[in-house]
Chains A and B, each alone.
Chain A
Amino acid sequence: MPEPKQPEKLIDDKGIRIDGRRLDQLRPIKLEVGILDKADGSAYIEQGKNKILVGVYGPREAHPKHIALPDRAVLRCRYRMAPFSVDERKNPAPSRREMELSKVIRESLESVVLTDLYPRTTIDVFIEVLQSDGGSRCAGITAASLALADAGIPMRELVAACAVGKIQGHMALDLSDAEDKYGEADLPVAWVPNANLVTLLQMDGILTPNEFEKGLTMALDACKTIHGMQQEALKKKYLVIKEVAEEREETEVVA
């Protein structure tokens, strides 16, 4: 399959992007929690055409033993793209890019997980990108922090992440694949709301200081929105069981 062709314009005359969004609009996001039975915690995210599955295991015994730390848990993280996740088959061997993303995602999650409660153990996070559409590291962080929470691992709070970028001279929120490829800059941001910490900040391309500041504000606003959706998705799992169980009781009383 050939590479998607470069669109003539990333933004039309009315300021609408190729997928019909405004510059400050997120792609539709769907979040689900606890969909894997065998994992201790799991989450699934769809953000635009991104489809990412995250499984969390632990805290569990550290293997090989020498990686264990005496005072806290080791957080291990693997970001991986399925061979079928992109237009042209991706070589399944871990690439330089995947290793880098695994590292930055791990570092962005490490700042919220209370690892000192579980010395000499590991917590493993597996992020599997099933379909990729730009901004998958951010979607991966969003889903991974949900999966950690679903595993019942104590953490300060959920991490929300979102990218901004520059296309045709304008700052735009949550770049899609084409916008990322043919745009001028990309700026992924992960944010921890209560502590007001930025735990991931990368950039490629060139931005002026003003553009950077505008972009960061847009990204943080988007993270706030995503954070709300994360909390809702996490609680939904239990509220659904609660509703079903308590409703069943009511009908029984009537009967």
Chain B
Amino acid sequence: MMVIVAEPKQVVAPGELLAEGDHVLGDNSFKVGTRIFSACIGIFEVDGTRVTVVPLKGGYFPRVGDLVGGRIVDVGLSGWTVDIRAPYEAMLPASETPGPRGPRRRDLSESFDVGDMVLSQVLAFDRTRDPLLTVKGPGLGKISNGRAVEISAAKIPRLIGRKGSMISMLKRETGCQITVGQNGVVMVWGKSPENERVAVEAIYMVEREAHTRGLTDRIREMIAKSNVVGEVARTQTA
């Protein structure tokens, strides 16, 4: 027997009964006997037989393959220590930077210095080892222009939206290039400071109102009101 007890799409608290029976356990849910409970404050979602709680708050927990924005906090002999807003210190070894192999004499701070922002990918991480990063790959490496916005990592799925609907709308309407780090660092490059400002404002709005309905439409309207010229209008004027 399978029964859904809580109302889907509603806010649930930790310990709230979600469902009873043989559902598939999604994130932030746990089972006691046949009863399934929520483990955090979030939105209850049902997808077929799978029950999930999409968290409304929470920090970043690294996963292999994640794109993350980080700040260099230390330069060592063979690599850098990077703050990726996780409960663990991430390492970026010099061997994971593009360029010639082999021993190098030069000072590593010539590539990245303390305080630099880097866009990187999580190469390896498990419960016993700190995350290992790489900047080998298209678009990865030091970020020297644009704006970095830091939002709660729990709101990143909402910022991307179902099949990327939210983020593609943001890019289109603000005419900005946006890169989303899974750890909550969002990079924005616009053709004018005003475009960037509107995009940043929209990102903060997503963070604040992630659990509300009709958010995509409201944000589109907010951008339209700001009179920023997006991509569609640009092709018309060109």
Binding site for B on A (CB under 8 A): 40-41, 58-61, 70-71, 112, 114, 117-121, 149-158, 193-195, 230-231, 234-235, 238-239, 241-242, 245-246, 248-249, 252
Contact = CB atoms under 8 A, between A and B. Distances in A.
Contacts of A230: 13
B41 interface: yes
A252 to B, nearest CB: 7
Contacts of A112: 14-15
A194 B32 contact: yes
A137 B119 CA distance: 45
Contacts of B164: none
A242 B87 CA distance: 30
Contact of A246 (B39, B61, B88, B213): B213
Given A235-B11, A241-B211, A246-B214, A150 B57 contact: yes
A198 to B, nearest CB: 16
Contacts of B13: 149, 158, 230-231, 234-235
B56 interface: yes
Contact of B214 (A41, A231, A249): A249
B15 A193 contact: yes
A238 B87 contact: no
Contact of A121 (B15, B57, B87, B212): B87
Contacts of B17: 194
Q: Which 3 A-B pairs have the closest CB atoms?
A: A157-B15, A152-B58, A152-B57
Nearest to A227: B15
Nearest to A71: B127
Given A150-B57, A152-B57, A193-B15, 5 more contacts: A121-B87, A156-B15, A194-B15, A246-B214, A248-B218
B107 interface: no
Contacts of A155: 14-15, 39-40
B179 interface: no
Contacts of A70: 128
Given A195-B32, A235-B13, A152 B209 contact: no
B136 interface: no
A156 B208 CA distance: 26
Nearest to B217: A249
Contacts of B215: 245
* Dominant SS among interface residues on chain A: mixed
A60 B28 CA distance: 19
10 contacts: A58-B87, A59-B59, A61-B88, A117-B61, A120-B87, A121-B87, A153-B58, A235-B41, A246-B212, A246-B213
A155 B12 CA distance: 13
B87 A156 contact: no
A154 B39 contact: yes
A230 B41 CA distance: 12
Interface of B: 11, 13-17, 28, 30, 32, 37, 39-41, 55-59, 61, 87-89, 127-128, 154, 208-209, 211-215, 217-218, 221
B56 A238 contact: yes
B57 A41 contact: yes
Nearest to B28: A154
Given A235-B13, A245-B212, A152 B32 contact: no
Nearest to A151: B57
A191 B89 CA distance: 36
A245 B213 CA distance: 9
Contact of A158 (B14, B59, B88, B217): B14
Contacts of A156: 14-15, 30, 37, 39
A119 B214 CA distance: 38
B212 A118 contact: no
Contact of A241 (B28, B212, B214): B212
Given A59-B59, A118-B87, A152 B40 contact: yes
Which has the most chain A C-beta neighbours within 10 Å: B30, B212, B221? B212
A242 B39 contact: no
A154 B38 CA distance: 9
B211 to A, nearest CB: 6
A249 B219 CA distance: 10
Contacts of A245: 209, 212, 215, 218
B59 A40 contact: yes
A242 B215 CA distance: 10
